[in-house]
Chain A
Amino acid sequence: MALPKSNSIASVPPLDDSGAVTTAKRSLVAVPSTEKMIWAIGGGKGGIGKTLLTSNLAVFLSWLHKKVIVVDMDLGGANLHTSLGVNNPTQTLSDLLYNRVEDANDLIQATSFKNLSLISGAHDPTGIANMPHVQKTKLARKFRELDADFILLDLGAGTTHNTLDFFLLADKKIIVVTPEPTSIENAYRFIKAAFYRMLRASTPTPYVRQLIEQAMDQKNARGISTPKDLLKEVIRLSPSEGELLKSKMDSFRFSLIVNQVRTSAESQIGTSVQIVCERYFGMHVDYVGFIPYDNCVWQSIRKRVPFLIESPNSTAVTHLESVLRNLLKK
Chain B
Amino acid sequence: MPKLQNEETFYDLLRIGPTANVAEITAAYQSVKAAFSKDSLATYSLMPAEDTQAILVKIETAYVTLTHIDKRRVYDKRISQPDFTSIEEPMNQNYEKQIPNSSEINPIMEAPLITAIPSSDSICDTEPSQLNLSQIREKKGLTLTDVSRITKIPTRFLKALEEYNQPVLPSKVYVQGFLKNLAQLYRLEPKITVSTYFEQLEQKTGTSKT
A residues with CB within 8 A of B:
179-181, 184-185, 188-189, 228, 231-232, 235, 239, 242-243, 246, 268-269, 271-273, 275-276, 278-280
Smallest distance from the beta carbon of A196 to chain B beta carbons, Å?
Answer: 14
Is residue B63 within 8 Å, beta carbon to beta carbon, of the partner chain? no
Min Cβ gap A223→B in Å is 13
A-B contact pairs, 19 of them (CB 8 A): A179-B41, A181-B44, A181-B45, A184-B44, A184-B45, A228-B5, A231-B2, A232-B4, A235-B1, A235-B2, A242-B2, A268-B34, A271-B31, A272-B34, A276-B35, A276-B46, A276-B47, A279-B55, A280-B46
Further contacts, 4 of them, CB under 8 A, given A268-B31, A275-B15, A276-B47:
A184-B42, A231-B4, A272-B31, A275-B36
A189 to B55 alpha-carbon distance, docked (Å): 22
Judge whether A188 and B45 touch: CB under 8 Å: yes
B45 proximity list for chain A (CB < 8 A): 181, 184-185, 188-189
Distance, CA A189 to CA B41, complexed state (A): 14
Is B181 close to A, CB under 8 A? no
Give the number of chain B interface residues (Cβ < 8 Å).
19
Q: How far is the CA of A159 from the CA of B194 in the complex (A)?
A: 56
Q: Which residues of B are interface residues toward A (Cβ below 8 A)?
A: 1-2, 4-5, 15, 31-32, 34-36, 40-47, 55
Say what secondary structure dominates the interface of chain A.
helix
Interface contact A239-B1, CB-CB below 8 Å: yes
Give Cα distance in the complex from A279 to B47, angstroms.
11
A232 to B43, CA, bound (A): 22
Interchain CA distance A268-B1 in the complex, whole Å: 35
Looking at B31, B34, B44, B47, which has the most chain A CB atoms within 10 Å of its CB?
A: B44
Q: Nearest Cβ distance between residue B42 and chain A, in whole angstroms?
A: 4
Q: Using Cβ atoms and an 8 Å threshold, which residues of chain B touch A246?
A: 2
A269-B32 contact, Cβ under 8 Å, with A188-B46, A235-B2, A280-B46: no
Instruction: Tell me the complex Cα distance, A280–B42, Å.
Output: 11
Question: Shortest beta-carbon distance, A48 to chain B, in Å?
Answer: 14
Look across to chain B and name the residue whose beta carbon is closest to the beta carbon of A245: B2
